[in-house]
Every structure is written in structure tokens, then in C-alpha cells.
A and B are shown apart, each in its own frame.
Chain A
């Protein structure tokens, strides 16, 4: 059998039904074999980064391994941002890079890049296939490593000659046995017992759930655990939907843009149980003041996550689902009336609030309406920035895998291709929420979306700024808006300033449209219907239109340019040193 055929056979045996890729010289033999393949959907994206994020979105939406491919050199390096994005969020992915012919490796050959070297720190593992004999086993190991234990991306670099070589007696291995890689799923019974005993004494417990819950598929077990105990639950950005956002025990996301209830609960809890969360700096704030009164239990499949940032009292190494199944047999209800009394006070009038307006579209309002129109059931991706935080705050996710966002790397340009990958997988509408900055980073995938007729519905919250950066400049850099205005000039003092030097600004009350590009025309040039919405009163109707439409579309909402995301814990501050919109001058 030929190398390229072995490769395709391996994909089949690993259950791959969609391959996102982009061809090039060294991949021609593989693409030639793919020409006759009918049972795998071969998606030609418009950029390799799009392919990588699409594979990632596919994986996030399904829990299965996403697969992407790029040619040697530039094609492969274009995958890098997508691989790093998957790595930081522990997403199962197999990335294939074509490589120059073996005997040319190391000679600075045409389109040669050392992909194994480049991706070493951003993959869970990677392989260079040296001979065709190694190919079957490497493919088997790659998928196994990507999906087991703490998932992550695995890169397989395949030289061209391996894809054209012939192997007699090809057999795909049935099982993998790697002496050096044996993830552990069962938690230590003694540690579990200790954790349960500690929880039983808690007066102010907090359940802190992270992306591990979704990766492990532990949402039911988490729900049972929380309901049995009656404790409040906060979920990280990566775990939104891992516990129902409408549940009465849900107290919001923690961290930099988290709720007061969640952050104050951290600071006042006497016992915290972390389930598949990694104490990220966006969550802990200043670690020296983090959770000063709490004993901490940490359940995580990766021992390296435990006590990396915050020293914990009871580590439990294992799969959250497996561990929770054990804990749920022993856990008992706690008397928490007093604790809930405090938390209810922190929640106040609502976890997240903002200053409403009848004249200008508030981005939060768009998300609220989006939530209503889609009845909380939308599956959606985001880009990175303010819109991402508002979506996290105002869309109450009730289901895991409903929310596809780049948390760890924070990759702008993730939204469109990730939503596309998810839509290919689910064969159902998937939404995407982007800022006007990030949406331009992979907008070329609108072509892939159109040509394949995948129902990706993009919402652009156009504040005409790189909003999240502008917000920091607003709050911490004396409003010196350096390189964040996307209308014309490089420096700006804000839309509300009176500028007389002619640098800005066409955005008076009239808000004459000067923005480049014209997203509506741009979408239409891809034959994707689009609407621009400028008035709050039109928001709902536009969302309904998009919701009811079959197929892709784009909605551009012209939002309040200088709206900030609140609450906010300034970088380096303690979690309870929060600023609220009411503090704004």
C-alpha cells in the first residue's frame, strides 16, 4: 500500500469524517489519493490558519479529534497559531504537515521548515515520520495522545517520499502501548476520602469548575455533586455551559471580568474544590491575596496543573468525571443558609449589569437579545476581546460544547473558522460573535462557508476600535488611544473628544459611515446576506431574521464605541478589588 493510502486509511480507522486542509507541493500525493475518497469530507479552507481553527472548533463542538493539514514550509507555519490555540485550551487535534523529501531535510530545501522544532513547545507531542514503516504506528499514537489524558494537539510531519513509498504487509495497529505514556483516570481513594471529609466540614464552600469538566464530559456528575451539596458553583470562561448558567446555584464566571459574587466567594470561602481548572492568572488576580481563608482541593488529570500557581491542600490526580462519580457516593448536603445569604447580597440586582440606552446600541443589549431570540440554545464561537467577555457574561449557557472560545491563547481570528468547523461537524447552524478587529483576521473563510453552504451566522459587534485594548488605554493609560482606532488615524483621544486638527472624526451623532471595509458589501461579495443595524429598536428583528434564515449570514451591529467591560479586576489586583460601571465617570 502507498504511504498516502495508509494515511487515509488511518484517518478512517480513527473515525475522521472531516479533514480541513490546504494543498501544496509535498501534499500532492496525499491530495491525489483524497481525490477518490468519498467518505471523508475534504474541506478546502482559504487559509491554513482557518483549517487549524476549524479543526479546533470541530473538536470543541463534538469532543472528537479535529484534523487539519498544511503543506511544507509556509502552509505548515500558517497552522502554528491554530495549534497553539488548541494547546493552551487542551483541545484534541491532529495537525498534519507535509515535509520535504527525507533526503533534503536539513538542507534549507525549498519550502522546508523544521516543524517538529517549531511546534515542540505548542504541542502535546509531535512526530517526524522517518520511514513508511513508522507511519501506521505514528498515526495511531498521534490520535491516542491527542484524545487521551489531558487532551491536546499532536503534529505529524510527513515527508513527501513517505507518502509515495510502498509498504508491504500494511496493517493498522489495533492498540497502542506506550510505556512512557499512561494517563491515569482513577483518583486515589484516600485522597478522595480526604476531600469529601474536608467538604463535609465546610461552612463556606465553593465549587470552581474549569474546562476539564467539559473535556471529561462530567457535566451530569458536576450537577449531581453541586445539587447534593447545595454549594455555589462558579465556572471559568472555559467551562461556561459545563454547569447550567440558569441554575440557581450558579454564581457567574470568576476572574478579571467575572461576577462580584464569584470573586467575593473566592475571597471568603473556607473551602474551594477546583474541578479541572488551572488557576489561570485571569482568574486568580494577585495570587498572594487569592482565597486567603480557603483550604483547597484540586482535582485534575494533569499533575503539573496541581500546585503550579496556588499551593493546594488536597490534590486528587484523575479524571473529573471518574472522581466525581466516586465523590457523589459520599457527599452530603451542607447547611449553607448563612453563606448563601452573603452570596445573594453580592449578586444584588443581577450578576452583570450595564447602563442602558435607547439611542445607541449597547453591545450587552445585543447579547441579551441574541440569548432571547435563540432561546439560550445557540451554539456559538467568539473572537477575542470585549465582545467575548460580554458574550460570556450575558449569554447564559446551559449546555457544554455550546460555547467555543479561545481562552488560553486568546486568539483573534478564531471565531469564524471555529464556528465553521463546528458547523461542519454538527451539520447545524453555528453562530459566531466577533469584534470588528478580529473578524478581519480570518474573514477569508466566508468563502469556504459560502461554497460549502455551512450555516455560520456571524454577529459583528462593531465598536470601530480594538475595544479590549482601547479599554485598557482608557482605564490605565490616560485615554491615550494608540493604534486602536480602526477608522482612520493611529492616535485618538476618544470619540467624545472635540478634535479640531482634522484627524477625526466622522462619528458625531450622525455617525456617518466611514468604516473600512463595509462589512455588508464585503459579505455580499461572498454571496452571504448581511445587514447593518444602527438602532437599538432594530436589534431584535435583525437577530430574528438571521435566526430564521437558512444558511450563512452576517449582522453588523454599530455599537457604543467606548463601552467598557465591567466588572473588572485590574491586572495584578486582588480579586475583590473590582471596578464596576457605576464607578465610571
Chain B
């Protein structure tokens, strides 16, 4: 089984999301993450779904998505074909003693501090999913209070 990032352009209407989610559920395909938002054209949304399966399943997922009347375009990115980014908000336990250390780590990952209180610090980090995972592992010892991840969004790589 391999992991795939699928980017779907759909008509921006209320039914589209449930059609796509419904298709995955009804046919037993797996959704690891899903993110949806309007594009620059307000009549279209882009969904980015990370899914997995062998080649036959991935081919069927693609075809079944294309069959949906609301779907305008489906791109199934092979590794290396796309740029992918994910956004994470994470709140850690932080003391006066280690706050600077944490901020140092955030700088390395080009993240920012979003909020600070006496016992906690909330950070924003974006990057590839694996970088985010690395970051989480790195800060785990400080005590993770909460995490919210957007799931990856992707576009095809700009052509050289």
C-alpha cells in the first residue's frame, strides 16, 4: 500500500464534500486526511485528500472521483510531482526555564509563536507532513497539550 495525495477541484456547492466523503466511505477507501477550501474562483473548491491503497485501488479511486458530476478535475500526485504543505498549531507546556529553548526550535522550523501564557506556549509550524512529524517528536518532551493539523494541501510543482 502506498500513500497518495489527491487534489480535487470541485464545484463549490454544499453537496460536493458529502459526495466525495460518501464515495470513500461507501467503497471502503481510506481517508487519512482531508482539507477543503474555496479557490481564487469562488465557484470552485479544492480538496486535498491523502489516501492509500495498492495501484488498483488508487486507479479506482481516481476513476470513481472523476465520475462524480461535481468533480471538475482530479490530480493524483506521484511522489515528487507536487509541493505539499501542512499547517499545525500546537500548544506545549512551557516554563520560564525552557521557553527560550522552545522558541529556538520554532525558529529552526521557521515557525512562529502564536500565543504565550504563564504555563503554555502555542506555536504555528508549517511544512511537509514529515517535517511536522519531526517537530512533534522534537517537542514531545516539553509536554504536548493540544495539536491541530490541517492535513496536507498540495499543488503540482511549477514547471521549470
Residues of A that sit less than 8 Å from B by CB: 116-117, 120-121, 124-126, 128, 145, 178-181, 302-304, 306-308, 311
Contact = CB atoms under 8 A, between A and B. Distances in A.
A317 to B, nearest CB: 10
Contacts of B69: 124-125, 145, 178, 180-181
10 contacts: A121-B26, A125-B68, A125-B69, A178-B69, A180-B70, A304-B63, A304-B67, A307-B56, A307-B59, A311-B56
Contacts of A117: 18
A178 B70 CA distance: 9
Interface in B28-76: 56, 59-60, 63-64, 66-72
A120 B22 contact: yes
Contacts of A120: 15, 18-19, 22
Instruction: Across the A-B interface, give the 4 residue pairs with the lowest CB-CB distance, nearest first.
Output: A304-B63, A125-B69, A180-B72, A181-B69
Contacts of A303: 63, 66-67
B155 to A, nearest CB: 19
Interface of B: 10-11, 15, 18-19, 22, 26, 56, 59-60, 63-64, 66-72
Given A120-B22, A304-B67, A180 B15 contact: no
Given A303-B63, A308-B60, A179 B26 contact: no
B73 to A, nearest CB: 8
Contacts of B18: 117, 120
Contacts of A304: 60, 63-64, 66-67
Contacts of A180: 10-11, 69-72
Contacts of B15: 116, 120, 126, 128
Contacts of B19: 120
A516 B70 CA distance: 50
Contacts of B63: 303-304, 306, 308
A179 B64 CA distance: 17
Contacts of B68: 125
Candidate in B15, B56, B66, B71 with the most chain A CB atoms within 10 angstroms: B15
B17 to A, nearest CB: 12
Nearest to B73: A180
Contacts of B26: 121
Contacts of A306: 63
Nearest to B71: A180
Nearest to B9: A180
B36 to A, nearest CB: 16
A181 to B, nearest CB: 5
Nearest to A150: B67
A180 B71 CA distance: 6
A99 B22 CA distance: 22
Given A180-B71, A302-B67, 20 more contacts: A116-B15, A120-B15, A120-B18, A120-B19, A120-B22, A121-B22, A121-B26, A125-B69, A126-B15, A145-B69, A178-B69, A180-B11, A180-B72, A304-B64, A304-B66, A304-B67, A306-B63, A307-B56, A307-B59, A308-B63
